[in-house]
Structure 1
Amino acid sequence: MLVAAAVCPCPPLLVPAVAAGAAHELDVARAACTGALGVLAAARPDRLVVVGPAARSGRGPHPEGTPGSFRGFGVDLDVRLGRDTGTASGRALPPSLAVAAWLLGRTGWSAAPIEGLGVGETLEPERCAETGRDIAARSERVALLVMGDASACRTLKAPGYLDERAAPFDAEVARALGEADVAALKALDPGLADELKASGRAPWQVLAGAAEEAGLSGALLYDDAPYGVGYLVATWS
């Protein structure tokens, strides 16, 4: 049963070493992420599952201890998903889960064992929901850390250029996350999300599937688009 969830953005720029001189620009977003992880710990889960976008859905979960790296972003920084258990597979974390590993390490997460799951950005909504249901059924007290960005088309300088549909799309996602509106998340259009480069669509729909029977309440902690990309932080508890 899902007892709590945190939703965080996953740009590598959240990691100060990657952002370098611009690191302070996301200080408020980092603080919101820290607060969201505190809500997860307070729920006393017996398992934490970290879900984030990946090029394609993972071949099974990433066990605790799986390594990740930001070397692809020009930074000599390695991370690990939780503690080193000696059971990690040979696969490295996708970037979204590497950001999650950094956030968890930064806050000293020790509340529950961790596993990670990369979700293909093109995964169909119902399969996302099925994945969420499976996650929620794994343990009596499951918490989810859901990584993903909203649209990347909010300004002319955004990675996807300006698209007038981006702001309304992000506003609806922010509302749904803030109100724990499972039906609204399930109804997100994968085609539109892809056109707007919203990497969080599939992970959010995994959350929706996991929360179907949970009866959780939501809170929106952060909603901004500092680089023309929508970053959202929310908690469900």
Structure 2
Amino acid sequence: MLVAAAVCPCPPLLVPEVAAGAAAEMDRARAACYDAVAVLAAARPDRLLLVGPAEPAERGGYPAGSRGSLHGFGVALDVTLGAGAPDPGEPGSGEPGARPLPPSLTVGAWLLERTGWRAAPVAALALSDQDGPADCLATGRELAAEDGRLALLVLGDGSACRTEKAPGAFDDRAAPFDRAAAEALAGADVRALADLDPVLARQLHVAGRPGWQLLAGAAEGADLAGRLLHDEAPYGVGYLVATWS
């Protein structure tokens, strides 16, 4: 049963050491993410699953103890998924040679470390933009049907086409797409998230779409209330933070 969810962006710039002199520009987004994680902890889940976007070759599950690195972004910083959290009792957790976390889940693991997550065992799941809405919804339903109280930390940015200098260049469809996603997250609108167009999302470089649709599947019938904590696009990329509880 899904008891709470948090939606957060996952740019490496969220990590102050990566952002360096520009760290202050992400202060509001970072603080909103901290607040969102606190909502997850307050729900007293039995387990927390991080869900984030990745390349197709990185898709799949990552157990507690999986490691991620920000060395590729010029920072000598490593993180461990679920560091300090209760032992999930999963065989193989953190074994040497396990595949590294993709960047989105690395940022998520950093966020949990920074907020001192201790509330429940942690695992992670990476999706790609090849995961269609039906598959994401079905995966969410399956996760919510498992025993115990589930919390989700859903990582992923909105469109990357909000300005001329954005990573994906300007597209006038980007702001309306992000606005629709923000309204759906604010209202815990499962149907609206399920209906997001994956083709348009891919054209607008919306990394969060698969995770948002997994959340929609997991939340069916859960009767959760949504709250939008943050909605900005400081670098031409939509950064949304929301909670469902």
TM-score, normalized by length of structure 2?
0.94
Q: Distance in 1 between matches of 2:115 and 2:209?
A: 26
User: Which residue pairs with 1:204 in the alignment?
Assistant: 212
Q: Distance in 2 between matches of 1:152 and 1:53?
A: 14
* Aligned partner of 2:240 among 229, 232, 235: 232
Residue segments in structure 1 that go unaligned for 5+ positions in a row = none
Superposition pairs for residues 1-237 of structure 1, below 5 Å? 1-56=1-56, 60-83=60-83, 87-89=93-95, 90-237=98-245
State whether residues 51 and 116 of structure 1, in contact with CA within 8 Å, keep that contact through their aligned partners in structure 2: yes
Identity level (%)? 64
Counterpart amino acid of residue 93 in structure 2: T
State whether residues 224 and 230 of structure 1, in contact with CA within 8 Å, keep that contact through their aligned partners in structure 2: yes
Q: Distance in 1 between matches of 2:180 and 2:73?
A: 31
State whether residues 58 and 102 of structure 2, in contact with CA within 8 Å, keep that contact through their aligned partners in structure 1: no
State whether residues 60 and 127 of structure 2, in contact with CA within 8 Å, keep that contact through their aligned partners in structure 1: no
State whether residues 5 and 40 of structure 2, in contact with CA within 8 Å, keep that contact through their aligned partners in structure 1: yes
Q: Distance in 2 between matches of 1:118 and 1:58?
A: 7
CA deviation vs aligned residue, 1:109-140 (integer Å, no higher than 9, x gap): 00000000001122110000111112112232
Q: Helix, strand or coil for the counterpart of 2:56?
A: coil
Q: Distance in 1 between matches of 2:129 and 2:94?
A: 24
Deviation at 1:106, TM superposition (A): 0.3
State whether residues 217 and 236 of structure 1, in contact with CA within 8 Å, keep that contact through their aligned partners in structure 2: yes
State whether residues 62 and 88 of structure 1, in contact with CA within 8 Å, keep that contact through their aligned partners in structure 2: no
Deviation at 1:58, TM superposition (A): 5.0
State whether residues 53 and 203 of structure 1, in contact with CA within 8 Å, keep that contact through their aligned partners in structure 2: yes
Residue segments in structure 2 that go unaligned for 5+ positions in a row = none
Q: Per the alignment, do residues 21 and 145 of structure 1 end up closer, same or farther by CA in structure 2, a change over 3 Å counting?
A: same
Q: Helix, strand or coil for the counterpart of 1:32?
A: helix
State whether residues 46 and 139 of structure 1, in contact with CA within 8 Å, keep that contact through their aligned partners in structure 2: no
Deviation at 1:177, TM superposition (A): 0.3
Tell me which moved more, 57-66 or 204-213: 57-66
Q: Distance in 1 between matches of 2:112 and 2:37?
A: 8
Q: Distance in 2 between matches of 1:34 and 1:60?
A: 26
Tell me which moved more, 188-197 or 130-139: 130-139
Runs (4+) of structure 1 exceeding 3 A deviation are 57-60
Counterpart amino acid of residue 204 in structure 1: W
Q: Helix, strand or coil for the counterpart of 2:161?
A: coil
Deviation at 1:175, TM superposition (A): 0.2
Aligned length: 237
CA deviation vs aligned residue, 1:142-175 (integer Å, no higher than 9, x gap): 0000000000000010001110000000000000
Deviation at 1:56, TM superposition (A): 1.8
Q: Per the alignment, do residues 57 and 47 of structure 1 end up closer, same or farther by CA in structure 2, a change over 3 Å counting?
A: farther
TM-score, normalized by length of structure 1?
0.97
Q: Distance in 1 between matches of 2:129 and 2:186?
A: 22
CA-atom RMSD in angstroms = 1.3
State whether residues 57 and 123 of structure 1, in contact with CA within 8 Å, keep that contact through their aligned partners in structure 2: no
Counterpart amino acid of residue 54 in structure 1: A
Deviation at 1:43, TM superposition (A): 0.3
CA deviation vs aligned residue, 1:39-58 (integer Å, no higher than 9, x gap): 00000000000000011275
Q: Helix, strand or coil for the counterpart of 1:123?
A: coil
